Amino acid sequence: MTGTDVLDATFAALADPTRRAILHRLAAGEATVTELAQPFAMSQPAVSKHLKVLERAGLVTRGRSAQRRPCRLNARPLQEATRWLENYRAYWEESYQRLDALLDELTSRDKPSFGGPP
């Protein structure tokens, strides 16, 4: 997958609140499909479909431990998305700094003089 493909798959996977909740749960440690399905009002097959999307995006891996197939978070694609978003954070910080400077200038122009009448 190219860098653009990774970003597209990551943001597509993150677009769904259930998948974001699954990632949040996996950030605390590995879990099985049964464990991941517990807080949701959906079947295990429905959770498995969400996991497949997360796996295709590279956000989740599945292991094998005897009969268990624990799922684990893989945060690497999130790091790439964070780097991409970082460019825009810098843009907005600069925009807010310009706005702050303009507001300071306008505020200082509009302040009344306390020296009294001449």
pLDDT tens digit sequence for 69-88: 899 999 999 999 998 898 88
What domains appear along the chain, each with residue ranges and CATH number?
1-108 (1.10.10.10)
Provide the residue type at 13 as one letter: A
For the record, the structure tokens of 17 come out as 């609140």
Q: Has residue 117 got a pLDDT over 70?
A: no
- DSSP secondary-structure letter at 39? T
For the record, the structure tokens of 27 come out as 């950030």
pLDDT tens digit sequence for 15-67: 999 999 999 999 999 999 999 999 988 899 999 999 999 999 999 999 877 67
- Quote the pLDDT of residue 91: 87
**Positive or negative torsion for Cα 54, 78, 28, 69:** positive
Tell me which of 1-5, 50-54, 103-107 is least confident: 1-5
- Quote the pLDDT of residue 105: 86
- Quote the pLDDT of residue 116: 56
- Quote the pLDDT of residue 77: 93
